[in-house]
Structure 1
């Protein structure tokens, strides 16, 4: 099967449930890493004018509000976010699915704050409906290693492409000499670990 590379012209970004309460469930990734990568994805989408759909679940309950940076980077998308009332699989929410369809993009970049609940189900559901999906695994995490690993295996078996934030940024950029190249490199540098193995 030929490999399809995503571009800024044919992709949409879906940010699912990056809420401050839900993020506290993550144990398999550092929370700051998840947050930095989510913010980086939002910034890259802004630079490339990639359509972004943001959704949340029960903001007034344990899940809490979305991370504030999303409202600063993508104010319009944040204000138009799909507020789900409890549906686990975002794809099963008609408003969310219709918002995705309205982008007319068949390549979906998905980041869901928990891999094992928020990400796995909509990623597989979208593939089942003919979309190509890349799941950004370092913008999510899980409470347990076993649930993280099984969710990854389940997505990959269903045809979801697993990726990481830096890999995706490079894929969308393709050429660092493009007009936005320096800005994109700065975003990439911003998600690097603070410690270095170089002495």
Structure 2
């Protein structure tokens, strides 16, 4: 049985995004991932770090059907509602995108790995205010066992074949 894919969108919030290095690319890739997940039946779980201070998730990224977890811990795995929203570790692969790469994305990734999840960190769909912080976060996540991937690879992975009826629509998301 193929493991259940889940897209985790970490803290892509209104007041944070303008400060993220190359935030336009981060937003384009996160949007493509969310749209592809919806098209292909992949669950989407999003987190919001202190939304009263950082605002809600950027307008237009998520749908009402997506699960949004409010948190105040940098590692989302310390939040019971977040853990409850995920399938069992042995049955799933979590694809992680969002911000900031070196804080909530990295600490949540490390928490997920400690809990036994298989994690694919979508390197071109994460960001930090400082590019060096992002680079170090990617290295650290990989050292700890996260697998690196890209937006395009993730979408093709979810598709599995060009024979799927959704192929052309998914392709439009990344072109």
| Same-fold call, TM cutoff 0.5 | yes
The aligned length equals 175
1:24 match: 18
Deviation at 1:8, TM superposition (A): 8.0
5+ unaligned residues in a row in structure 2: which ranges? none
- In structure 2, the residue matched to 1:137 is 123
Where do 5+ consecutive residues of structure 1 fail to align? 1-6, 190-199
- TM-score norm. by structure 1 comes to 0.81
1:118 Cα deviation from its structure 2 partner: 2.0
Choose 1 or 2 for highest CA Rg: 1
- The one of 81, 89, 98 equivalent to 2:84 is 98
Distance 1:55 1:103 in 2: 19
> Within the alignment, does 1:150 sit opposite 2:136 as a pair?
yes
Measured in 2, the distance between the counterparts of 1:110 and 1:134 equals: 6
Give the equivalent residue in structure 1 for 2:106.
120
Structure 2 CA distance for partners of 1:153 and 1:103, relative to 1, 3 Å: closer
Q: CA 1:13–1:103 in 2, change beyond 3 Å: closer, same or farther? A: farther
SS of 2:124 mapped into structure 1: helix
- RMSD, aligned α-carbons: 2.0
CA distance in 2, matches of 1:150, 1:127: 18
Match of 2:26 among 34, 41, 52: 34
Give the equivalent residue in structure 1 for 2:7.
13
If each structure's strand is expressed as a fraction of its own residues, which one has the higher value? Answer: 2
1:102 deviates by 6.8
TM-score by length of 2: 0.91
Counterpart residue number, 1:193: none
Structure-1 separation of matches of 2:171 and 2:129: 31
1: CA distance between counterparts of 2:35 and 2:2? 13
